[in-house]
Structure 1
């Protein structure tokens, strides 16, 4: 049971964003560890008052909010003028970033609205265009480490799609597909499949934590850990409300009466889905997703490698095995420090000195762990009937053992609470709740990620690892790298864990990240995803041919969103009236979440009829 001083954890029985009852005891245990490291209240007193949308006076904004309440119902429009409330993963705020690298009031909403249907979303966009109020849609807002629920422009009105638009509209066991609204979590989808008695036929693919939105995670091109781990590649069909209120369906969904929307993503003509991922070109209200057929068996495995220098030859071994699908899931190669951190204990349990924890201490503590001492740990899984799994496993074993000191871990020797078993569940399509325990590493644990992409080559892995190690050493921050290996690329995910109440540590974390982004770009590596505060910098690194890609994105933005109301600044894409007016944050201290609002360019509103609702 959770401590009486800690709020009870919501379950799926009473909240669309809750935890499955089967995971409640694990959630409460994780939550207790998180709260044990807190040194301050969840309540954040406001010092700047109500965050107004740029260019609007308080009376004008309150009048506009009153009108929106008339349109949607008073209970579905919430003004955010009191203290901000943090929480933890299962009770995250929908008003701001609960893990802020900057001040909590930098990226904060003025109000939150809760549409109940597509027509409501259309009405909100029409209202926003009328008053030139920025709107910022979220599905669940659990994009922790990348900005959470926060809007990029301070004072934006957040559209919380998840609270009332959270239905699983279809699960087709024959085609292995589903159709969902934004508020459907990986937890909810998994549990619904089990409830329908389809668990022996269908698997989902889940990220490290299952509380995020299937739609939101996919649109941000998140990953999971089965062979269906590339979520964007597995989607099929979108329904989108455009910034001026029109509704479109992509692919086969644009054919009236079609029955293949989730089976064939392309339809006829240009494939437009891509412009709605990691963008601010539309609000996705429905999304199709392919589901994985039960492979007929699975077996998790884990290998450890002793030396830091094993990274290069190991990646060279992994590449051909991964491309040929002998290594068939999006697996992880994690550093030994993460093996310690994911246990959920504070850093001071192992080391109380300054600067990065010495490698000697890490190895000493790992010697006491069930899996033993190591520098790198590889978590993987084989799928299919026993003879198929054995065939693949024998190849993998022979290749991995070419690394001197390689050890295969016997799962029967591992206790039930060992992290291996969480990876086992996730790689078998069962969402879990363990991963964020490493945020307990420091008090008031927050995290932010460095996420560059590279080919699956040892030389590339080494370059990225070395630049991360150099910048972490300069900043005095512990380095926790993990390589997530796709079919022909790999993501290096470096989680910087920092004390959200320690301003000096936050500044060091931001500088470390910005330095790594610049270093990586000079070597030809770009991030695939980043925090709100870093989006302008990351976007600026994709600068080939005099920033031709950004110019193209800006043309699309201005055509689809001439009033610049939909999530301005998301992924570095600013509408015309915001551009060059102090909003772009390309380095520490440059730009802001408020910009030079008084310089906002006036907009000549087009005369047009309202969209069909």
Structure 2
């Protein structure tokens, strides 16, 4: 089916009116992106519900009474039952009821209800209510954790706490300290636009897409591309609600300021006194973070560029050249190394435009199609950005980089003015100077009804290790019939290898193959000692299981902390493979070798 431009235009959320919307400067780009996505859409917007979900072990009558009680506390309009048709939407109009990019059945990872607190105090009310009724709750910031599970709760029937809708304020923006405090519903778009409105000489660091939560991305240890690209490393101070409903501040926030004010150094010094506990609240289910401080980068001069490499076998040498440049901090940011197939994908044209055959797109076809693009017939593309207060300093850095990569025969150095205005390099210029964009949506047009999963292992920045991971991933993608979309975010000692599996969420066979591919990549990488830094919630148990040194000591420690902080196992059970004692060992874990067919059997144990 197709959607008219007028319909699309009228539905794009506006950031001035909706916290999760798109800024005016990107309105037309959003319209165009949605139009491209919907041009291949064959699924209806929604279908009749076959079932609704209840929290495990809770009867319909008990649940209805509990919801009535919560509505009396928060207001009827702030507690929604999830009994309406499910709509997957798209990036800018995403659901908070389920995983929009479902790899299991659409009605599997699904909320029973959605709650909208407006303050930390109301979050405490919800948490205490959940403990009283033994109902699992699943907090989300904005629900845009796409590729990793979105807004879907790991246990069907959990109550989703949507923190973004009513908790989306920038609480502090300190130009002198170059810092801010934000609530969960503040997107990269919103923070950037507010900095521009105040005319502050500050940059944010954003991931490839700008609609996600600044807070949410950081606690999942996401990355961006400026020198402040490690988002969790650049946070400073948090306020959170523990699973019992108690309130905690970390860092200098643990010390009250004068006359009850916030401590003036809360966003200036991370650790405070005693154990530095902030890390246990990242990628965990130990608390609900309601406020978080961040350091912002003072604006500076910058120059983005791309370097192309002609041969597949150049890959290990590229990695070996990157390592010393990154260790010496010659490279100014967290650069990306991409395979040339992504030059085809980011044009927004579907796979069928380039090739309509079965299985993987053949390498000779990729070469032929790439030859007609600005990059030419190449294999690898390196996207970097240099920073400095003067063009002289930046040019000196560029000279060193040209010289280093010039050792690879046939490499070519290109600046933004060397490629057309619609080339992806211009999007990297913006992202690498702290300007959030939407361009990265375009590769989702690769297949109809596109959804995606990320496989994200960590490798040393060494050619041998990177080649082993890449060859394993490439071989397994061929086995399961998927094109390989590798992106490497490369630092001086490690690189995030992010493989993007793009599949048609209407096609059960593609879902099954994508699931099989994920399982086998996790298994094969672990055999060589490589583990994921982040994964989709349905593969979290298998990934957590691979961190098995000393009989799984780390996992046992995480479970000990979970049981101490969350005695009723109510907070996001199963998130990142951490289960409380109520659910642990009861069949909820989906470990390596699990034989269940998630499309047919679901994800819940047959209790």
What residue number does 2:74 align with? 72
Q: Which moved more, 1:375-384 or 1:409-418?
A: 409-418
Cα-to-partner distance string for 1:78-120 (whole Å, 9 max, x where unaligned): 0001211110000000010010111111100000000000110
Q: 1:121 aligns with which of 109, 113, 123?
A: 123
Counterparts of 2:395 and 2:459, CA distance in 1: 30
**Residue 11 of structure 1 aligns with which residue?**
14
For residue 465 of structure 1, what is the aligned residue in structure 2? 470
Aligned pair partner of 1:40 in 39, 43, 55: 43
What is the match of residue 152 of structure 1? 154
Distance 1:246 1:408 in 2: 55
Conserved 8 A contact 2:322-2:492: no
Q: Which residue of structure 2 aligns with residue 595 of structure 1?
A: 604
Query: For residues 390 and 44 of structure 1, what CA distance do their matches in structure 2 show?
Result: 57
Partner of 2:569: 564
User: Is the counterpart of residue 133 in structure 1 residue 135 in structure 2?
Assistant: yes
2: CA distance, partners of 1:436 / 1:446: 11
Q: List per-residue Cα deviations over 1:352-406 (Å, max 9, x = no partner).
A: 1111001111011111112212110000011111011011100000000100010
What corresponds to 1:203 in structure 2?
Answer: 203
Whole-angstrom CA distance in 2 between matches of 1:352 and 1:163: 42
Partner secondary structure for residue 438 of structure 2: coil
- Contact 2:304/2:415, CA 8 A, preserved across alignment: no
Which one of the candidate residues 388, 391, 405 is aligned to 2:393? 388
The corresponding residue for 1:213 is 213
Q: Deviations over 1:416-435 (max 9, x none)?
A: 21111111100010001011
- Contact 1:371 1:409 (C-alpha < 8 Å) held by counterparts: no
Say if 2:310 is the partner of 1:301. Answer: no
Q: Which residue of 2 aligns with 1:271?
A: 276
How far apart are 1:597 and its partner, in Å? 7.3
Aligned to 1:256: 256
Look up the match of 2:502. Answer: 497
Q: Which ranges of structure 1 fall in alignment gaps of 5 or more residues?
A: 599-613
524, 529, 535: which is aligned to 2:529?
Answer: 524
Structure 1: how far apart are the matches of 2:317 and 2:584? 46
Q: Is the 8 A contact 1:451 1:527 kept in 2?
A: yes
| Partner residue, 2:260 | none
Moved more, 110-119 or 403-412: 403-412
Measure the CA separation in 2 of the matches of 1:537 and 1:247.
Answer: 32
C-alpha separation between the residues in 1 aligned to 2:483 and 2:606?
39
In the TM superposition, residue 594 of structure 1 has moved relative to its aligned partner by 5.5
Partner of 1:282: 287
Q: Secondary structure at the match of 2:173?
A: strand
Check the 8 A contact 2:104/2:602 in 1, yes or no: no
Task: Pick closer, same or farther for the CA change 1:425–1:456 going to 2, 3 Å.
Answer: same
- State the match for 1:377 in structure 2: 381
Deviations 1:30-65, CA, capped at 9 Å, x for gaps: 110000111011214321x22000001111111111
> Deviations for 1:235-277, whole angstroms, at most 9, x for unmatched residues?
0001010011100000100000021111101000011101110
| Displacement of 1:593 | 6.3
The one-character-per-residue Cα deviations of 1:135-177 (angstroms, maximum 9, x if unpaired) are 0000001000000000000000000000000000111111111
Secondary structure, in 3 states, of the residue corresponding to 1:4? helix
**Distance in 1 (alpha carbons) for counterparts of 2:495 and 2:48:** 42
Q: Deviations over 1:536-573 (max 9, x none)?
A: 00000001100101110111100000000000000000
SS in 2 for 1:112: strand
Partner of 1:611: none
Assess if the C-alpha contact under 8 Å between 1:2 and 1:28 holds in 2: no
TM-score normalised by structure 1 residue count = 0.95
Report the alpha carbon displacement of residue 28 of structure 1 after superposing the two structures with TM.
Answer: 0.6
| In 2, Cα distance between equivalents of 1:420 and 1:484 | 16
Distance in 1 between residues matched to 2:602 and 2:351, nearest whole Å: 33
Distance in 1, Cα, partners of 2:128 & 2:580: 17
- Give secondary structure in 1 for the equivalent of 2:233: helix
Rate the CA distance shift 1:268–1:597 in 2: closer, same or farther, 3 A.
farther
How far 1:178 moved relative to its partner?
A: 0.5
Q: CA deviation at 1:596?
A: 3.8
Q: Is the 8 A contact 2:205 2:228 kept in 1?
A: yes
Q: Is the 8 A contact 1:139 1:216 kept in 2?
A: yes
**Residues 304 and 386, structure 2, Cα contact 8 Å, conserved in 1:** yes
- Over residues 310-348 of structure 1, what are the superposed CA-to-partner deviations in whole Å (9 max), with x where a residue is unaligned? 001110000000111111201100000011011111111
Equivalent residue for 2:338, pick from 334, 337, 354? 334
Shift of residue 415, structure 1, vs aligned partner: 1.8
Aligned counterpart for 2:410 among listed residues 405, 408, 425: 405
Unaligned runs of 5+ in 2: 258-262
Are the counterparts in 2 of residues 154 and 593 from structure 1 also a CA contact under 8 Å? no
CA 1:112–1:255 in structure 2 vs 1: closer, same or farther (change >3 Å)? Answer: same
1:29 is aligned to 2:32: yes
Q: Look up the SS of the partner of 1:422 in the other structure.
A: helix
1:91 is paired with a residue whose SS is: coil
Structure 2: distance between partners of 1:387 and 1:206: 27
Are the counterparts in 1 of residues 221 and 283 from structure 2 also a CA contact under 8 Å? yes
**Are residues 1:443 and 2:445 paired?**
no
Q: CA deviation at 1:2?
A: 6.9
Higher alpha-carbon deviation: 89-98 or 588-597: 588-597
In 2, the alpha carbon distance for the partners of 1:244 and 1:12 equals: 35
